Structure 1
Amino acid sequence: MFKPDILIADDHPLLLKGLEEFLKEKNYSIIATCSDGLSAYNTIIKEKPDIAILDIEMPNMTGIDIAKNCSRHNIETRIVLNTLHKEKKLFDDAVKYNIHGYLLKEFALSEIEACIASVCQGKPYFSEKIYKRFSHKTTDGTNTDVLTRSEVKILKLIADEMTSSEIADFLSISVRTVEKHRANMIKKLNIDQKPNSLLIWSQKNKDSLF
């Protein structure tokens, strides 16, 4: 089973140490721990860990700042945010920058292994409590308010039966970025992970995308 290289960053020493020890006991490879955002970001650039588990609020750079910079510079480290905060704006900001995981610290130890496994498979993982609170999915599943502008744009192209490669060329982005958006949309819209499920959903609800 693939065990990713992991970086952990948190400005609370006890929480940082606790998560590090927990993951080491589970035989995960912790390549670095950091107590502020800037050192975490610099370490991500240097060491290129598979996954970075970051507190949202840290000195010098927040976890969201790091996610934003990684997205902007096409850094392949997958970002998991770990936070005590439950504000919708923080959640929306995090999703905007294509983070791969969003955990509430109160459930972190019980969810972290499932989160890591999901992220390693390229599937975003959101704490169930935070996801249910902010997804606001309507009963018919057609609400697109949970999607970012980029995701809506891509969903429209999917509805036009464009492939990930064609969408990447059309928007001048990487295929990997398109696939990441696809995975995020499937999670946010609570769509079954079956072949062409996103295409079927987008065509069924095409009118709601405009």
Structure 2
Amino acid sequence: MVQIVLAEDQSMLNTALAALINLEDDFEVVATFADGQTAWQFIQAKQPDVAILDIEMPKMTGLDVAEQVFQHQLKTKVIILTTFAQTSYFKRAVAADISGYLLKDKPSDELMATIRKVMQGETVYDAELVKNMFTKTENPLSQREMEVLQAAASGQATKAVAAKLFLSDGTVRNYMSAIISKLGVHNRMEALNLARKNKWL
């Protein structure tokens, strides 16, 4: 029996996924979590066969958890299940040696097939993401610059972005100027549009 942990902060999706997976004779969902930190604590203590992780969760993201699993060399195989087709996320997941990366718009039977392939030692990446790795423009922004741009994506003023990232207004303005310069655009809106077009956000 393959023991599986689910970490997804949307409770309805968490429950639905667990029910679907438990319909399989050879799978058992042994725990579900709504945040990355408690999921990581369980994974570290129990080392289930597979951990299916969302990316954006409270306390620790799915990528944070995947990196901890990799650094501690645990036997748990990590599958990222997300709505985000961002090459930056995908690259970070690959660097953490994850076993699978799927988008949530895929049929449920594809997830079941991925779990079985992963348990057989295969690595399964979403074809769209692999294609994006080779066709999209390389992101020239640093991780911190991407954090500033991501925070600005909600349309918040510089002061609100600064408060969210624990930075000064001036520092945020400096980051934004660097972002605009690196991307060769004229303003924040053009920077956001370019980042979205290239699926960096």
Please confirm whether the aligned pair reaches a TM-score higher than 0.5, indicating the same fold. Answer: yes
State the Cα deviation string for residues 72-117 of structure 1 (Å, max 9, x = none): 1111111100100111100111001100000101115131111111
**What displacement does 1:134 show?**
2.3
Instruction: Tell me the percent identity.
Output: 33
**What displacement does 1:132 show?**
2.5
- Cα contact 1:111–1:127 (8 A) shared by 2: no
Shift in alpha-carbon separation, 1:108–1:127, aligned structure 2, 3 A: farther
**What displacement does 1:135 show?**
4.5
Is residue 2:85 matched to residue 1:66? no
CA–CA separation in structure 2 for the residues paired with 1:63 and 1:105: 14
- Cα contact 1:37–1:60 (8 A) shared by 2: yes
Which residue type is aligned with residue 19 of structure 1?
L
TM-score of the pair, normalised by structure 2:
0.64
The residue matched to 1:90 in structure 2 has which SS? Answer: helix
In structure 1, what is the equivalent of residue 116 of structure 2? Answer: 117
CA–CA separation in structure 1 for the residues paired with 2:78 and 2:114: 11
Name stretches of at least 5 consecutive residues in structure 2 with no aligned partner.
139-201
Name stretches of at least 5 consecutive residues in structure 1 with no aligned partner.
137-144, 146-210
CA–CA separation in structure 1 for the residues paired with 2:79 and 2:114: 8
CA–CA separation in structure 1 for the residues paired with 2:88 and 2:127: 17
In structure 2, what is the equivalent of residue 8 of structure 1? Answer: 6
1:122-137 to 2 correspondences below 5 Å: 122-136=121-135
Larger Rg: 2
- Cα contact 1:82–1:108 (8 A) shared by 2: no
Is residue 2:55 matched to residue 1:39? no
In structure 1, what is the equivalent of residue 161 of structure 2? Answer: none
In structure 2, what is the equivalent of residue 141 of structure 1? Answer: none
Shift in alpha-carbon separation, 1:108–1:40, aligned structure 2, 3 A: farther
Aligned residue pair count: 136
In structure 1, what is the equivalent of residue 165 of structure 2? Answer: none
Is residue 2:36 matched to residue 1:19? no
In structure 1, what is the equivalent of residue 47 of structure 2? Answer: 48
CA–CA separation in structure 1 for the residues paired with 2:83 and 2:131: 16
Shift in alpha-carbon separation, 1:29–1:107, aligned structure 2, 3 A: same
Shift in alpha-carbon separation, 1:8–1:133, aligned structure 2, 3 A: same
The residue matched to 1:116 in structure 2 has which SS? Answer: helix
TM-score of the pair, normalised by structure 1:
0.61
CA–CA separation in structure 2 for the residues paired with 1:20 and 1:115: 15
CA–CA separation in structure 2 for the residues paired with 1:64 and 1:13: 19
CA–CA separation in structure 2 for the residues paired with 1:66 and 1:114: 23
CA–CA separation in structure 2 for the residues paired with 1:78 and 1:95: 13
RMSD value, Cα? 1.8
